[in-house]
Structure 1
């Protein structure tokens, strides 16, 4: 059992937020919420909610569960590593690879591959199924991901994601000819009420979501765009572009069911990733080339 006394300067902060900032505890805000729901955290001797505001002098008793052994096995899967140091590595994820294990995908994921590459050198904040993973991209989206090797870098990157200071530029080929050169989609997203596997625009209960787009090249029936994320919601670019009548080409979830090209999912590539280095404090930025399928499709469209 861990006992923590709330200090004067923390007074008035949400309980889950407060717990997520404690370096000695080293848990994320979402994991703190999970412990609260499981009644493993007592506030002044009683049960509490994640939204409770802690006050100076409050006493927290935390019953941390025993570490769960990781059933996910390391696999010798080739990785396209763009950069690596003692804090993190930047990986160029291929199409068709799931980022972290989940029901139906316990093997062949990015996590299986990085466990083989890094061994025990991965952050633990997001739990045993997602070591090192701060953010993710969809199975059929290609491109750059940062993987954290320690909890210090993980907390730094998670905070940068939270305040939207990370640079994330995606390249997408979308259906239709976008007339304007630039635009912004500002529409909150939430889980679809009709299909729980899909996301949808939800003005009432959705979370803020903002995507900026810029036309790079036009091909008549298709357009190459750069999408810059201000927020990073699940399927954000795919839902936002579909909402303005320009779904991502090959997206059989939010776009047309039939595609004139032989594609494996959406034409979406996480091209640029930039952030403040957790140790040096300097801004670093990484770029990746279009994958082969993307290049070949662009050649066809240009002809």
Structure 2
């Protein structure tokens, strides 16, 4: 079987090759990328370079993905912040930094590994995504609904498809949004320039995000984003599209941004109809400490200025 090849062109990124490559090829860690550089599986303009090579705009990075080894899905005992649970569904508050399900490069310590240890899960999504009806990015925190059996999974998936559930996120974005609220209706698909990114493209899948300004901090704005659709990286791409990328976003944000471990994005509200009882359920998760502390710092700076 031929290994797949990924290409990316340096645009605004600058600095060491291993650092820039980790931004462009987000599924690989810097240590993995250094190994790929050493083995000749990551080339710059067709040539092998050292990790300290300083990239330039226009450099083309070509990565040959190593063969995917067989993953063994293992149940792991890990702490979970369970917001709700019954015989059919579970709602968990995922921390920033936790991957939802195993994949090459993230074989263990994922949410699925922890869930498997905790309870039985639906089997509809295949071997490595049991119970997972929808997902959020590794560095996005917040609420996820999980199906414990196939009947529950079918019901929750249908609600997502029919847009009858509630998903509201809190996002800290760059710039001062003048409008009090708005709707972004722009189709999303894989970026033609970089397959690791999503972008607004004419032939993309329909994507709609409603936003409402909650607070303004001069250079930053706190918004509530309600998803009508759930495309990959939807809020991150849509907010960048209107000129207000998420603070801390290593993939879509500017280089000069707020410190942290990733984008300031939190799935704060999640609502759905219970797949068995039909009861309307709504859950909320408070901002994680790192996010809340940053808002305090911005508020203090605003008062001083």
- On whether the aligned pair clears a TM of 0.5, the verdict is yes
Following superposition, the deviation at residue 116 of structure 1 comes to 0.8
Superposed CA offset, 1:224-254 (max 9, x none): 0000000000000000000000001001211
Tell me the equivalent position of 2:282: 285
> For 2:292, which of 292, 295, 298 is the aligned residue?
295
Match of 1:73, SS?
Answer: coil
C-alpha separation in 2, matches of 1:70 and 1:285: 35
Q: Please, what is the CA RMSD of the aligned residues? A: 1.1
Superposed CA offset, 1:149-196 (max 9, x none): 000000000000001111000000000000000001000000011110
Following superposition, the deviation at residue 70 of structure 1 comes to 7.8
Match of 1:112, SS?
Answer: helix
Following superposition, the deviation at residue 258 of structure 1 comes to 2.5
Aligned residues: 231
Residue 240, structure 1, aligned to residue 205, structure 2:
no
Largest Rg, 1 or 2: 1
> For 1:222, which of 220, 223, 230 is the aligned residue?
220
Residue 96, structure 1, aligned to residue 97, structure 2:
yes
C-alpha separation in 1, matches of 2:271 and 2:137: 19
Given that 1:273 and 1:285 are in contact with CA atoms closer than 8 Å, whether structure 2 keeps it comes out as yes
Superposed CA offset, 1:123-169 (max 9, x none): 00000100000000000000000111000000000000001111000
TM-score if structure 1 supplies the norm length? 0.75
Q: How does 1:35-114 map to 2 (within 5 A)?
A: 71-114=72-115
Following superposition, the deviation at residue 71 of structure 1 comes to 1.9
C-alpha separation in 2, matches of 1:160 and 1:217: 31
TM-score if structure 2 supplies the norm length? 0.75
C-alpha separation in 2, matches of 1:98 and 1:237: 18
C-alpha separation in 2, matches of 1:293 and 1:175: 17
Tell me the equivalent position of 2:15: none
Given that 2:71 and 2:107 are in contact with CA atoms closer than 8 Å, whether structure 1 keeps it comes out as no
Unpaired runs of 5+ residues, structure 1, are: 1-68
C-alpha separation in 2, matches of 1:195 and 1:151: 36
Given that 1:70 and 1:128 are in contact with CA atoms closer than 8 Å, whether structure 2 keeps it comes out as no
Unpaired runs of 5+ residues, structure 2, are: 1-69, 301-305
Match of 1:242, SS?
Answer: helix
C-alpha separation in 2, matches of 1:235 and 1:130: 19
Match of 2:76, SS?
Answer: coil
C-alpha separation in 1, matches of 2:249 and 2:287: 18
